[in-house]
Structure 1
Amino acid sequence: MAERNQPLTPMDRIFLQPKAYHIVNFAVAFEHPIDVVSFKTLIQNSIMLQHPRFCSLIVRDSCTGREHWRRTVVDIDRHLIVLHRPISAVDPSISDDQDAVNNYMADLPISSPLPIDKPLWEIHLLLAHKTAVFRVNHALGDGFSLMSMLQSFSSTTRKVHDQDAPPRRRWSGVWMLMKSFWYTVVFAFQFLMRLLWVWDETTCLSGGSGVELWPRRLATARFRLDDMKTVKRAVGQATINDVLVGAISCGFSRYLDTRSTKALKEGTQITGISMVNLRPRAGLQDISDVINGNYETWWGNKIGVILFPIYYHRSRNKDPLQFVRRTKTIMDKKKLSLEALFSNKLMEFGISFPVPKLLSTFYNRMLRNTTFFISNIVGPRDEITLAGNPVKTIRLTSSSLPQAIIMHMVSYAGMAEMQISVAKDIIPDPKVLANYFEDALLQMKQAAEAQDSNC
């Protein structure tokens, strides 16, 4: 399966540096109350406990100073944390299970770090809210790996395909090669400048140094995938990601219209960071490869980073589909470039130096110089069950970054839910922001339907 001691990859090491330390949190809500014994049996018999990363400690070599994985015996009782009390007993303002779980997850980054004397994962069972929260250090794997692991727990999982796989680069033709080279040079230069001194104009959405330690609030925006597909058909060759970011761009513009204390120029840039899956095959993977010893072909942190610029436009009396068209224009250029691969290799190169903290400082600075973080992960297309209990929703968030807004979207069984984590002293009303995103998509759908009816 794997050697007893296995070195960390460069990307794994990044997520263990103090300024880039990152924990991924999956919240799985069930239809019925959780049976703790059945759930514990599910975990004990799962492929997860056969995976070397989930059965290893991170140990630093006293001679070289390099970290490596060392296999250990997993005491599942130390990893399974059972909470019987409802969150509302602590905070009476909480009205439903979703708010209760969001409140709990918002506090986790500060209140409950993962101990280093055991493998870096935990599962919190919130029995009163019929929800399990899977907490995994990013060094164990990225969101694509972890979602594949999660779906392997289900006895009813069918083969999952990427619902909206981004089109692969086509290298045919000298002109396409020239455009790819040009866009790569331009975006790589912009990436380096963002690492060094370029930053967004300060708005009521901006974070900054130390914001990762501020108290957080978490809100959920819900979208129907059919609505997103209606919009993408109305904008030729668009993708679900184009529609998502178009809705976010429209929602941000409306939020700034109502909350900004200063007048913003039309076209003000608001830059985000997005993680890109660099695996040859998009979508969820077959976790049975772990058993065959082939997990390293796709497991881990096989991701790159791209800068994601969107622009403020006064939203009143504007065609909402224009936000998607602008996004598509930008993303078409990003897809032609090698920006994600460039950023991946740059980080791997930087972490190989004797002072890896230097890279984490630059990575932290790039986050501070941007406004938001966004990811989009494809979940199971069909409903699944865990330990015989049907899963209602799957939501994802992560530990705090020096940005005021962190957004993670997961699609599951025809719906997509986006967790919006905000620094509450900067954005005190994340539910308002979530409503703007939802309303933007509905208005885009109406515009798309009206466009179809006029054709």
Structure 2
Amino acid sequence: MESEEGLRRRKQALKPIKTKTANKEGEDSVNHQVEEEPLSPSARLFHEPHFNVYIIAIMGCKTQIYPDIAKANLVHTLLKHPRFSSLQVVGDGGEMKWVRTKVDLEKHVIVPELNPNMDDADQYVEDYVFNLSKSSIEKTQPMWDLHLLNVKTSDAEGVGIFRVHHSLGDGTSLMSLLLACTRQISDPQALPTVPGVLYKKKKKNAVNGSSSWWIWRCLIGFWWGWQLFWNTVVDAFMFMVTALFLKDTETPLKGPPGIEFTPRRIVYRTVSLDDIKLVKNAMNTTINDVALGITQAGLSRYLNRRYGDSKKDDEASKTKNNLPKKIRLRSTLLINLRPTAGIQALSDMMEKDTEAKWGNWIGYVLLPFTIGLREDPLDYVRQAKATIDRKKHSFEAIFTFSVAELVLKIFGIKKASALSHSILTRTTMCFSNLVGPLEEIGYYGHPMAYLAPTSYGQPHALMINFQSYSNKMTIVLSVDEDTIPDPKQLRDDIVDSLQLIKDAVIQKGLIKEDHNLNKI
């Protein structure tokens, strides 16, 4: 736990700098600043002491990284985005604003001198990221940096670590921007292809004009609307009672108060996306359903072991069901409500100075996890599908965003921050699943081996991210080591759960012939 003196210093470090927009001669006083724009409410929220959140994207490269090439092309890509070439300052009226500035790349691109023959390069990279999570970026410069580690690991020839303050954008927007800076390996002029939602055309019914068809359609529409209304009411009620008093069960995964100020150990493992698609196709679900299902299975296995370790019985106690009954374990899922700019729009913005939508407009979804040991491993995926299908049929995210906006306007940023903090601290973890490109990509001659995004600074001891890339899926865990001392074991439990569920699908003969396996 961070000391009171350390917390006081960190709060002081979070205070945004004050600048004047112009001097008496009419010249900009700080690096020729221009184009002031106020921060959105969500961006301001990430400057509160309990929400100093940073997004980290660990990028493995198949070749050694050439820093000069990376820097030269950042000027023509990332720096064209106004958020990455702006300071966040407090004006004379007290409002925080974006103010354009000249970017010194030498301060943003860090290339440490490394021993190419070090004993354990994988551990070095892991420790490097861990130490990075202890620090923050000075507000006297745009709040992002890029660390280039030319060290050969087990799955890459070099590693780039891209760190961005969450006030610059949400995970989905930043992922789109990152991909807009890359090109396909097979076609260096082509942008990456990110799959969208596929809609099947409905077959026309021969009796569409009959009165009975219209009656059934009205009944189905009424039932659909009633479910949407009822699900939203229930979710809104759960949100309010969670904000007031309802807490998750105290499990070995739930961190203590002040967990947002601790560093994070980040571990990850890349698995075959085809294995996940095999389960998805066999069970007629989605990639997200399977990701949530194997996470529920992995958390159940891990917690059962931890509860077994706490008992003083013999070794057999660790293999039986040691889980308490009725564990309440929920994940906070952040939903971006603003339409995210597509890769093409962001690419055009950087190349042709066009406009693209951007911002942090975030609502909460409280996603319950079913914890327990199941005889049939496929039950984890079935339960996940039921949970996600229900959450899709609700306006929960819009409601939570609206409540936060109302509190902000009436009571100010401090009360809005307290509301969000109370929600997060009464849940257990964060969970996300981001869709990546279908093909292999590279950045100006640097082909990418994998992509592992996550974050630190959130008031949870555990964050789990799934990131697809080509035919791979990377599972990323960001943990507080005091709460979860063995993060690699938890990661392996999730990976092993995928294998168990895949084996169960094969044994039950549920595999379907699908020539479109490569589609997400």
Q: 1:58 aligns with which of 82, 85, 88?
A: 88
CA contact (8 A) 1:350 1:359 kept: yes
Cα pair distance change 1:5/1:215, threshold 3 Å? closer
Structure 2 residue 177 is the aligned partner of structure 1 residue 116: no
The residue identity in structure 1 corresponding to 2:369 is I
CA contact (8 A) 1:88 1:100 kept: no
Q: More deviation in 331-340 or 266-275?
A: 266-275
Structure 2 residue 280 is the aligned partner of structure 1 residue 249: no
Q: Which residue pairs with 1:258 in the alignment?
A: 305
Q: More deviation in 394-403 or 116-125?
A: 394-403
Structure 1, gaps ≥5 residues long: none
Structure 2 residue 149 is the aligned partner of structure 1 residue 126: yes
Q: Which residue pairs with 1:142 in the alignment?
A: 170
Q: Secondary structure of the equivalent of 1:264?
A: coil
Structure 2, gaps ≥5 residues long: 1-32, 153-157, 185-189, 201-216, 312-321, 513-520
Q: Which residue pairs with 1:176 in the alignment?
A: 224
Q: Deviation per CA, 1:79-112, whole angstroms, max 9, x where unpaired? A: 11111225996xx6xx343x432322222221x2
Superposition RMSD in Å: 2.6
CA contact (8 A) 1:410 1:416 kept: yes
Counting only pairs closer than 5 Å after superposition, residues 98-113 of structure 1 correspond to structure 2 as 99-110=123-134, 112-113=135-136
CA contact (8 A) 1:106 1:421 kept: no
Counting only pairs closer than 5 Å after superposition, residues 315-334 of structure 1 correspond to structure 2 as 315=374, 318-334=375-391
**Matched residue count:** 439
Deviation at 1:121, TM superposition (A): 0.9
Distance 1:165 1:372 in 2: 30
Q: Which residue pairs with 1:154 in the alignment?
A: 182
Deviation at 1:380, TM superposition (A): 1.5
CA contact (8 A) 1:27 1:396 kept: yes
Q: Deviation per CA, 1:266-318, whole angstroms, max 9, x where unpaired? A: 4422111112243557975631352454312xx22243221110122124xx1
CA contact (8 A) 1:10 1:352 kept: no
Counting only pairs closer than 5 Å after superposition, residues 194-343 of structure 1 correspond to structure 2 as 194-236=242-284, 238-260=285-307, 261=310, 263-279=322-338, 286-290=345-349, 291=352, 293-296=354-357, 299-315=358-374, 318-343=375-400
The residue identity in structure 1 corresponding to 2:92 is S
The residue identity in structure 1 corresponding to 2:150 is L
Distance 1:200 1:149 in 2: 35
The residue identity in structure 1 corresponding to 2:243 is L
Deviation at 1:166, TM superposition (A): 10
Q: Which residue pairs with 1:29 in the alignment?
A: 60
Distance 1:57 1:183 in 2: 42
CA contact (8 A) 1:208 1:369 kept: no
Q: Secondary structure of the equivalent of 2:267?
A: strand
Distance 2:372 2:451 in 1: 32
Structure 2 residue 356 is the aligned partner of structure 1 residue 356: no
Q: 1:188 aligns with which of 236, 245, 249?
A: 236
Q: Deviation per CA, 1:326-377, whole angstroms, max 9, x where unpaired? A: 1111111110001111122222333334531222122122221111111111
CA contact (8 A) 2:338 2:359 kept: no
Q: Secondary structure of the equivalent of 1:4?
A: strand
Cα pair distance change 1:245/1:450, threshold 3 Å? same
CA contact (8 A) 1:23 1:135 kept: yes
Q: Which residue pairs with 1:67 in the alignment?
A: 96
The residue identity in structure 2 corresponding to 1:220 is Y
The residue identity in structure 1 corresponding to 2:405 is E
Higher relative contact order (CA 8 A, sep 6+): 1
Cα pair distance change 1:406/1:331, threshold 3 Å? same
Distance 2:382 2:343 in 1: 28
Deviation at 1:114, TM superposition (A): 0.8
Deviation at 1:165, TM superposition (A): 6.8
Cα pair distance change 1:409/1:361, threshold 3 Å? same
Cα pair distance change 1:395/1:404, threshold 3 Å? same
Distance 2:36 2:338 in 1: 25
Q: Secondary structure of the equivalent of 1:265?
A: coil
Q: Secondary structure of the equivalent of 1:205?
A: coil
Cα pair distance change 1:86/1:253, threshold 3 Å? farther
Q: 1:396 aligns with which of 430, 453, 457?
A: 453
Distance 2:328 2:465 in 1: 21
CA contact (8 A) 2:191 2:343 kept: no
The residue identity in structure 2 corresponding to 1:311 is T
TM-score by length of 1: 0.90
